[in-house]
Amino acid sequence: MSSMPSPAPARASAPLVVDPALFDPSAIAPDTRAVNASIIKALGAVPDRWVFPMAMLRKLRLEGKGPFPLSPESPYAKSIEIEGPRGPIPLRLLTPPTPARGVYLHLHGGGWCLGSARENDGLNHRFVERTGFAVVSVDYRLAPEHPYPAGPDDCEAAALWLLREGPARFGTDRFAIGGESAGANLSVATLLRLRDRHGLTPFRAANLNAGAYDLGLTPSARNWGDEPLVLNTRDINVFVGHYLREGGDVAASDISPLHADLKGLPPALFTIGTRDALLDDTLFMAPRWLAAGNGAELAVYPGGCHVFVGFPGSLADQALARVHAFIGTC
């Protein structure tokens, strides 16, 4: 493969410290409480969404008729298609007006069933503006129509395309990878596939936000219950059921990367809120990442809901500033 990326610069490892004060309800800021209350109110007013086909839910979200507003379309964005093992893969490219300082391969969230690159234009536009990186967001195939391993197959193909075409297209071989929720899961799966199937470790950093790393369910996911704060236990089980509709071992590293050999992966920033059903996934994964010899930073935010960076508020601003700084120094 030509134009191989330069190796990531070494980062000094540091102990992961978790301050118990972050988990005290008194640490939650008033505006964070207000955001959470509005989310619970909005989702509590929605009838059982799982009676509707996923395709219908996707359509409503893209039309701005979901429970949360659709961000404006980024003027930086354009869509292309690349070839993949299962057919064409749509990519949404957000390119800064000045030469790109790097390229961020973004894998969106949505439980492997929902979500799209377009729905992430708000976050990705802000990412471009604050980091100077271009963003390549992947519209990978979604379950239940395309269950595992279709999604990770597409993400692997998109990563290989970026390594092959990225230097010429974007003028840089400085690459980072990341995503939210299921997108963080797929980001780690992609890193493992590149390492194990292709002998490649091309990404300089991983931005892992509220990831689902154990599809057998960690204690926080299993014990969360019914509270509709973006994601609850039933939602997780529905998503996993659709994703693994044609089978798959929940302890396999390609499905649950918490169980993987994590050696040789890039420095990662793990972002999580204390009011996230997937809290334990991050609290378990970050130390394993560090113990494997990789750089790891753990950022825990009081009261943050699942993927709280997608909602307005001071907590999201604080977390995104740290993400942008982390990527900017990779």
Who contacts 255 (Cβ-Cβ below 8 Å, separation ≥6)?
Answer: 148, 189, 215, 244, 248, 249
139 is catalytic: no
Residue 328 CB-density burial (10 A; 0-12 exposed, 13-18 middle, 19+ buried): middle
Provide φ and ψ at 227, rounded to 5°: -55, 125
List the catalytic residue out of 125, 146, 259, 306. Answer: 306
List the catalytic residue out of 139, 276, 280, 281. Answer: 276
Who contacts 51 (Cβ-Cβ below 8 Å, separation ≥6)?
Answer: none
**Contact 280/250 with Cβ under 8 angstroms?**
no
Whether the upstream peptide bond of residue 25 has omega within 30° of 0, thus cis, is: no
List the catalytic residue out of 181, 187, 220, 256. Answer: 181
Q: How far apart are CA 273 and CA 250, in angstroms?
A: 24
106 is catalytic: no
Who contacts 216 (Cβ-Cβ below 8 Å, separation ≥6)?
Answer: 250, 251, 256
Q: How many other CB atoms are found less than 10 A from the CB of residue 224?
A: 23
State in Å, rounded, how far the first CA of the chain is from the last one: 23
Written as six digits, the tokens of 14 are 């540091």
Written as six digits, the tokens of 197 are 């199937």
Query: Could you give the C-alpha distances from 234 to 11, 93, 237, in angstroms and in order?
Result: 39, 34, 5
**Contact 143/242 with Cβ under 8 angstroms?**
yes
Q: How far apart are CA 58 and CA 60, in angstroms?
A: 6
196 is catalytic: no
- Residues serving a catalytic function are 181, 276, 306
